[in-house]
């Protein structure tokens, strides 16, 4: 009976429900139940959506026709916040809490490069949702919702924002679509039983919330310092499974919800002057700029 | 259609940035309602009723909304959304937390951090850490928008809107508030200060940040920091100015020992006057500074303090 329920729970990933059911069966000796409880606790799948973006050190140029920024021949990389999400998942696995890490990215074939990076950093397998469309966050969240339904992760770790669109939306939207609670802008993540405690970076300082699992967590910069992938791990990552699924096969309406009308460079600041002394600086601020 | 502005508050008073979000709503044009969701938040609602241009303040006073948990507040806003063409909130950590959830529940896109309104469906927002400015048109029936406070001037507080109590109480029951550690400071709020003085890695340690205190006191300034200073543990993270921290646009921004990385500039380059104090004459900060001085900050700061 116990084994049967355990196998069923593993197959369905519905640990909480099965565990609660077990608690009602009073015939199971307490010591066995405790062992069982521990087993349920450690079986946790983590889903990490990642995005391929322009490298954070690159200064972008706007196209002369103002249609968008120019991304031809520009260095691309894994979004820094996504890298932190991968690192956190790997740390949860190293701590014996997470059992499997699945990385997922939405984009054309080129985003497989970033998925391989995630695999080299410690993800177990990867899924590329193939599309060459530039998707609004709501459509990204809908595709991820399908992945969540399929994979049934206990925790979804995302970056808080992508450094290209600067939207800061996807994690929260995925929370709404899946009904999962969210811990956004996380600087500390602690899994405790069937809950996760998330310390969040908020405007006035820090705030801690407790979320029922399964839950969504979006990472802030101070959550951790991502490791570098070692060469052996990069080699190993080439053999890890990477599934490709066409975005069109999910049966979701992915038509755009916004139109990008134009992109312009920001107003250039006038070149300033170098002053020679603090006296001169104070004089200029008082009499020329009139700001003090 | 009417516009719903979600008030930001701590139950006891309204956050000043809400008045800037009301200004953005006025730029769109239409009847403006403000929602105050909280617990024992009558005082905040009374503040909101004074915002010019607001015709009605809706108050959802319930324990479920005390800490404005995104799971609960997003359900409340979604319930009310049917009456509104636009839903606006501050692009603060609170607004950024619950608004995308609202958008997804309504099955619409969100337009984040707008800095200008072109028309009722077209908005201007920075992308790529402020290195490009996008004009975006929303194709959805309901426009869910967060507003960057530095893009708008606060409306007056001479209004007298009708205050209506709502009986809604929605608790998703999936999350709970555990605690908060808020930074207590006598200085003006970083986002609202007219003068900001920020330290970077060049400050060398947290102790040295006290060199900024005297100058901040004399100028009535808020103290900020670069990510490098926060990461090195010199100061708390809520002082961070930049793409992923706070966006400021004061009259005067003094950058001390800050090199001027893209990500830091994203948070302050709309300041009216920028002063850079740095001993590296090649530091990128000098390319955006109106006034720069190439000097060791440990000599320059005490001298500046004595001469103000």
Residue A4: band (very low, low, confident or very high) from pLDDT cuts 50, 70, 90 = very low
B111 near A CB under 8 A: yes
Read off the DSSP letter of residue B8: P
Taking all residues of chain A, what is their mean pLDDT, rounded to a whole number? 89
Read off the DSSP letter of residue A44: -
B292-303 pLDDT tens trace:
999 999 999 999
Look at A41 and B110; give whichever has higher pLDDT. B110
Backbone angles phi, psi at A45, to 5 degrees: -95, 135
Chain B nearest CA to A153, separation (Å): 16
**Cβ-Cβ contacts under 8 Å for B183 (sequence gap 6 or more):** A204, A205, B236, B238, B239
> Taking the CA of residue A201 as centre, how many other CA atoms within 13 Å lie in the half-sphere pointing to its CB?
20
Complex confidence, ipTM: 0.94
Note the helical H segments in A179-250: 231-237
Radius of gyration of chain B (CA): 21
Query: Closest partner residue to A173 among B103, B135, B262, by Cβ?
Result: B103
What is the model's pLDDT at position B84? 98
Distances (CA, A) of A271 to B41, B273, B289, B292: 48, 12, 7, 10
A153-210 pLDDT tens trace:
999 999 999 999 999 999 999 999 999 999 999 999 999 999 999 999 999 899 999 9
Residue B196: Cβ within 10 Å count: 27
Note the helical H segments in chain B: 17-28, 42-49, 70-80, 93-105, 211-219, 227-231, 262-268, 297-307
Percentage of chain A exceeding pLDDT 70 = 86
**Cβ-Cβ contacts under 8 Å for A183 (sequence gap 6 or more):** A189, A196, A198, A200, A209, A211, A215, A216, A217, A218, B175
Chain A nearest CA to B289, separation (Å): 6
Read off the DSSP letter of residue A217: E
Q: Where are the beta strands (DSSP E) in A174-267?
A: 182-192, 195-202, 205-212, 215-219, 242-246, 258-264
- Of A11-25, A233-247, A265-279, least confident by mean pLDDT is A11-25
Interface of B with A in 12-31 (CB under 8 A): none
Give the tokens for residue B56: 């009605």
Determine the average pLDDT of the residues in A237-248. 98
**What is the rounded (10 degree) CA torsion for A17, A23, A29, A35?**
40
Query: Closest partner residue to B129 among A166, A210, A215, by Cβ?
Result: A166
Chain A nearest CA to B54, separation (Å): 26
Chain B nearest CA to A201, separation (Å): 7
Note the helical H segments in A221-287: 231-237, 278-283
Please tell me which residue of chain A has the smallest CA distance to B78: A176
- Of A114-123, A264-273, B101-110, B251-260, least confident by mean pLDDT is A264-273
B243 near A CB under 8 A: yes
Report the length, in residues, of chain B.
308
Residue A29: Cβ within 10 Å count: 9
What is the model's pLDDT at position A14? 57
B29-81 pLDDT tens trace:
999 999 999 999 999 999 999 999 999 999 999 999 999 999 999 999 999 99
Query: Closest partner residue to A256 among B139, B227, B246, by Cβ?
Result: B139
Query: Closest partner residue to B101 among A175, A187, A209, by Cβ?
Result: A175
The answer to whether the Cβ–Cβ distance between B137 and A277 falls below 8 Å is: no
- Residue A239 burial (10 A CB sphere; 0-12, 13-18, 19+): exposed
Taking all residues of chain B, what is their mean pLDDT, rounded to a whole number? 96
A82 near B CB under 8 A: no
Please tell me which residue of chain B has the smallest CA distance to A166: B127
Percentage of chain A exceeding pLDDT 90 = 82
pTM above 0.95, yes or no: no
Residues linked to residue B266 through DSSP beta bridges, in sequence order: none
Q: State the Cα–Cα distance between residues B304 and A277, nearest whole angstrom.
A: 10
């Amino acid at each position: 009976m116990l084994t049967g329920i355990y196998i069923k729970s593993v197959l369905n990933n519905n640990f909480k429900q099965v565990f609660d059911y077990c608690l009602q069966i009073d015939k199971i000796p307490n010591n066995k139940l405790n062992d069982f409880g521990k087993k349920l606790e450690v079986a946790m799948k983590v889903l990490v959506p990642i995005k391929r973006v322009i490298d954070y050190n690159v200064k972008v140029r706007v196209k002369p026709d103002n249609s968008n920024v120019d991304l031809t021949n520009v260095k691309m990389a894994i979004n820094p916040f996504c890298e932190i999400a991968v690192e956190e998942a790997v740390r949860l696995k190293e701590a014996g809490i997470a059992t499997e890490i699945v990385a997922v990215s939405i984009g054309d074939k080129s985003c497989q490069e970033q998925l391989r990076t995630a695999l080299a950093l410690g993800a177990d397998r990867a899924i590329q949702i193939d599309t060459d469309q530039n998707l609004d966050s709501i459509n990204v969240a809908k595709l991820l919702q399908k992945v969540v339904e399929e994979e049934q992760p206990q925790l979804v770790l995302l970056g808080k924002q992508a450094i290209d669109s600067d939207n800061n939306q996807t994690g929260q939207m995925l929370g709404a679509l899946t009904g999962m609670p969210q811990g956004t802008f996380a600087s500390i993540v602690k899994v405790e039983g069937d809950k996760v405690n998330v310390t969040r970076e908020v405007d006035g300082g820090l705030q801690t919330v407790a979320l029922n699992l399964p839950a969504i967590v979006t990472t802030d910069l101070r959550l951790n310092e991502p490791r570098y992938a070692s060469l052996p791990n990069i080699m190993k990552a080439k053999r890890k499974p990477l599934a490709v699924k066409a975005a069109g096969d999910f049966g979701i309406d992915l038509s755009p919800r916004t139109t990008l009308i134009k992109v312009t460079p920001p107003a250039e600041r006038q070149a300033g002057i170098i002053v020679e002394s603090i006296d001169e600086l104070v004089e200029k601020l008082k009499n020329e700029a009139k700001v003090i | 259609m009417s516009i719903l502005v979600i008030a930001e508050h701590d139950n006891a008073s309204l956050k000043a940035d809400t008045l800037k979000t009301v200004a953005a709503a006025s730029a769109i044009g239409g009847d403006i309602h403000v929602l105050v969701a909280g617990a024992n938040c009558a005082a905040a609602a009374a503040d909101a009723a004074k915002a010019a241009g607001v015709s009605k303040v809706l108050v959802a006073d319930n324990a479920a909304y005390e800490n404005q948990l995104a799971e609960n507040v997003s359900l409340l806003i979604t319930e009310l959304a049917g009456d509104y063409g636009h839903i606006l909130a501050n692009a603060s950590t609170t607004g950024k937390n619950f608004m995308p959830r609202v958008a997804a529940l309504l099955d619409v896109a969100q337009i984040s951090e707008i800095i200008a309104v072109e028309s009722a469906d077209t908005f201007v927002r920075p992308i790529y850490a402020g290195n490009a400015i996008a004009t975006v048109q929303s194709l959805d029936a309901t426009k869910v928008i967060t507003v960057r406070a530095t893009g708008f001037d606060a409306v007056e507080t001479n209004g007298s809107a009708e205050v209506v109590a709502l009986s809604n109480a929605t608790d998703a029951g999936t999350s709970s508030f555990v605690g908060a550690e808020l930074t207590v400071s006598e200085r003006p709020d970083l986002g609202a200060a007219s003068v900001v003085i920020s330290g970077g890695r060049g400050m060398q340690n947290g102790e040295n940040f006290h060199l900024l205190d005297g100058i901040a006191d004399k100028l009535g300034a808020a103290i900020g920091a670069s990510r490098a200073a926060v990461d090195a543990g010199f100061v708390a993270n809520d002082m961070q100015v930049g793409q992923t921290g706070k966006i400021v646009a004061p009259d005067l921004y003094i950058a001390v020992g800050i090199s001027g990385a893209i990500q830091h500039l994203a948070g302050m380059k709309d300041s009216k006057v920028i002063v850079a104090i740095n001993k590296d004459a090649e530091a990128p900060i000098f390319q955006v500074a109106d006034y720069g001085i190439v000097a060791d900050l440990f000599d320059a700061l005490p001298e500046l303090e004595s001469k103000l």
